[in-house]
Amino acid sequence: MPRSSPLRRFISLPNYLHASIAAREIARKTWAWSRPDIYFSASFGSIIGVENHLAKIARQAGAKLFCYPTYPCYGEDVYIRRRFQNVDMGMWTNYLRADVDIVNRQLAKIFPHWIRSYNGKQQFAKDPIEMLAAWFQGLLYHDPWKKPYDIYDRIYVPYQFSAELLYRNGYAHNRVGMLGKPSIDQVARQCADPGFVSRMQEELGFTFDESFILFNVAPSAEHKNTSEDVHFRQFFAICDVLKATGQKIILSLHPLCDFDTYNSHAMRYGFTISRNYQIYYLQPFCRFIVSHSCTTNHQGALAGKKVIDIDYLNLRFENLNMIAPEEIHPNIMLVPPEELAQAVDRLLAETANNEHDAGSYYSAYAPAGAGIVKDAVVMTATTAQGNVS
């Protein structure tokens, strides 16, 4: 029987239901021993997982639901573009397409609010058989394209532009709270400590008085966004441009990237990989940043650094009503790969007298970040007492 046959697809429905029932049992046991007043989660993308059942149980129990999304760009319009692109790139199954077979065509007619249109194509948010399983169990939200899902009493965001995206997508202002980026608080405290910075420089093998360009390597092959061949051709093309600058180049790798593989390439170019320090530690000290479309870019821009976002997805030519990088922060430049060398030359000229000391940035950031986190804890407590609607 062909894998894509309609019968085989419908046979997968009991499998989805079985997985969901197993997840429900885990959620029930978890809730039974914890019984929290507040269910605090990330913006999950699942629809039949443990987290979905926990959210349903929390709502039935009268608990408050709070969310801190891991990705700073939110809203349905952002999610639509990303999900269509993921299918085009092969990252998600073609079964999301509304016209892929008779099963999807019929479900699209029965549940038209499950699909969206983009660039002349129609698509489901998830495999519609999985969505059907979620619907049977009362787990599917009315708008499965809305991210975060419209189930939370409070959504905390790291940046103001994140809040603006939520407002634009219909979230009420009193449901959105500014939290900052808690993961930066420890970085801020450490980098404001001269002793820590001295040890970091010693391990990296140079001082931050030296000018260096920070290269945030895209984990395209590791995330299966593209083939290894294409990924490394793009990687080497960037390395060639950076090598031509004559500047010191520091690479920051995603945790999925194999250090030995990239280190062998970096050594050929005379580059250094920061193995033990995340990109957040390095951003305020660098001259500027060469990156991909990454959630860390905004933090680099906040640190006062120019960020080149290499646009392999042609995002700047999108017609969808998307927020542009310069709206997120004016320091972020969306640059097509063929224009990378010119963009690097431009920033070399603009940053000729760039200050590399991060002490003032982190000294200012640390108390502000701590204060935001403290405020969030207070708001969370008062919300649990019913003082915030």
Tell me, yes or no, whether 168 and 197 share the same domain: no
Mean pLDDT value of segment 121-140:
93
pLDDT value at residue 8 = 82
Q: How confident is the model at residue 64 (pLDDT cuts 50, 70, 90)?
A: confident
pLDDT value at residue 141 = 84
Tell me, yes or no, whether 190 and 100 share the same domain: no
Which of 142, 159, 178 is the endpoint of a domain? Answer: 178
Is residue 182 a contact partner of residue 373, using CB atoms and an 8 Å limit? yes
Query: How confident is the prediction for the chain on average, in pLDDT?
Result: 83
Which range scores top for mean pLDDT: 173-182, 280-289, 376-385?
A: 280-289
Tell me, yes or no, whether 242 and 141 share the same domain: no
pLDDT at position 183 over 80: no
pLDDT at position 2 over 50: no
Does residue 122 sit within a domain?
yes
This prediction has a pTM of 0.75
Contacts of 64 (CB under 8 A, 6+ apart): 37, 38, 39, 58, 153, 154, 383, 384
pLDDT value at residue 225 = 75
Q: How confident is the model at residue 357 (pLDDT cuts 50, 70, 90)?
A: low
pLDDT at position 315 over 80: no
Tell me, yes or no, whether 216 and 120 share the same domain: no
Mean pLDDT value of segment 57-61:
93
pLDDT value at residue 385 = 46
Structural element, H or E, at residue 332: strand 332-335
Tell me, yes or no, whether 127 and 205 share the same domain: no
Range of the domain at 32: 6-178
Tell me, yes or no, whether 163 and 205 share the same domain: no
- Alpha-carbon gap, residue 365 to 190, rounded angstroms: 12
pLDDT value at residue 30 = 94
Tell me, yes or no, whether 131 and 242 share the same domain: no
Does residue 197 sit within a domain?
yes
* Total domains in the fold of the chain: 2
pLDDT digits (tens, 9 = 90+) for 20-51: 999 999 999 999 998 888 888 888 878 999 99
Does residue 372 sit within a domain?
no
- Alpha-carbon gap, residue 48 to 125, rounded angstroms: 13
Tell me, yes or no, whether 174 and 196 share the same domain: no
pLDDT digits (tens, 9 = 90+) for 67-80: 888 777 677 877 88
- In terms of Cβ atoms closer than 10 Å to its own Cβ (0-12, 13-18, 19+), residue 125 is buried
User: HEC string of 5-52?
Assistant: CHHHHHHHHHHHHHHHHHHHHHHHHHHHHHCCCEEEECCCCCCCCHHH
Is residue 39 a contact partner of residue 66, using CB atoms and an 8 Å limit? yes
pLDDT at position 317 over 50: no
